[in-house]
Chains A and B, each alone.
Chain A
Amino acid sequence: MTLRFGDTAGRRCVGVPAIALLVLVCAGLVACGCARQVPLAELGPSGAVVWVRLATSDGEQVTGRVISLDAGSVVVALRHAIEGDVRVRERGGDQALYSGTERLPGQFVRIDTDEGERVAVVHRTFRVVDIASATFHESGGERSLSSIVSLLLGPAVGGALAFIL
């Protein structure tokens, strides 16, 4: 049986698939937000997430979120679990992260909770000339959401449209 606009039964039930289509489109819009292009030098406040795994010429290896990247430096947000000797101390009105008596490099930003554990977020600046190598990575959440939308939403919207038209 084919539903056409000239068909009384078909016309009667066109409204229902139309609502279904609207629900799908709304779900897609809510889930996805809007695509945007963010300058690499201003990633921090934008909400766009880029991860970096870098090795310095001194042999130090760190992994964190890129806050900004330009010709001179890379600012990376690092997360340190607050446990054992690692704790946040306040001296002279400034908060800093310490491991034992040694102050950890970087600017203390805030304390987050990660799976029930407290972690300190520190912004650390690396000079580009001090970086031996680095790789940039996409957020896992963003990648999986992209797959979900491509696999489910496209066919769902196409199928619903075919019923309506």
Chain B
Amino acid sequence: MEAHGSTRGVFATVRSTKLVLVAGLLAGVIAMLSGCAATTPENFVEEPGVTVRIVRTLGDSFSGTLIGMDEGVLIVDRSVPKSSSITVVRNDGVDIAYRDGTPIGRAVEIRGVDIVVRERLAFFEIDDIRVVSKAYFGWGTAIAAVLTFLLVQILQDM
């Protein structure tokens, strides 16, 4: 019994040592890559798009992606959940999204649960517009953490 317990203790120590090494390696990689990312301030992503939070003068607010500006109006991509009130009609090869019969913008991507609608917003329609900055922890990070947690638990129980 004592020998068995001792063996388990050795295995546990080896495993924890490996874990520390892997964790240390990952921490180092994150720190190094973060440093690399932080030392290149003068480059930008070629694909247009900046995450923004918009409050309209009508009172509603939404998150979207600021794409650009054209003839004095801002062009914003916004995710609209699919529902019975949303319809997409192709007109001259362009998909137009309608809400309750009123055009709301061009449907640039139709996905499983939502539609990405490109809206044109004049400045007088916007009460406040804010850039979302340094939001590194998103749902993706949380989901990845939960999935890894479950995977390791399953592997431990095997």
Contact = CB atoms under 8 A, between A and B. Distances in A.
Interface of A: 1-3, 7-10, 12-13, 16-17, 19-21, 23-24, 27-28, 30-40, 43, 46-51, 54, 70-71, 79, 114, 128-129, 131-146, 148-163
A13 B20 CA distance: 11
B131 A141 contact: no
Contacts of B38: 141, 145
A110 B142 CA distance: 41
Interface stretch (B90-98, B105-113, B146-154): B146-154
State which size class the interface on B falls in: 35 or more
A150 B130 contact: no
A57 B134 CA distance: 33
11 contacts: A13-B15, A20-B19, A40-B130, A135-B68, A138-B44, A138-B51, A146-B136, A156-B26, A160-B19, A161-B149, A162-B148
B129 A39 contact: yes
Contact of B144 (A2, A7, A128, A150): A150
B135 interface: yes
A142 B37 contact: yes
Interface of B: 5, 8-9, 11-13, 15-17, 19-20, 23-24, 26-27, 29-31, 33-34, 36-53, 66-72, 123-124, 128-138, 140-153, 156-157
Chain A CB count within 10 A is highest, among B13, B46, B131, B153, for B131
Nearest to B141: A154
Given A19-B20, A134-B68, A158-B149, A142 B133 contact: yes
B134 A34 contact: yes
Please report whether the interface of chain B is mostly helix, strand, loop or mixed according to DSSP. Answer: helix
- Classify the secondary structure of A's interface with B: helix
Contacts, number: 236
Given A134-B69, A138-B50, A154-B145, 15 more contacts: A1-B156, A2-B157, A24-B26, A37-B133, A38-B131, A39-B130, A40-B52, A128-B69, A135-B48, A141-B41, A148-B33, A154-B143, A156-B23, A158-B152, A159-B148
Nearest to B129: A40
Max chain A Cβ within 10 angstroms of own Cβ: one of B19, B128, B134, B144: B134
Contact of A161 (B15, B33, B67, B145): B145
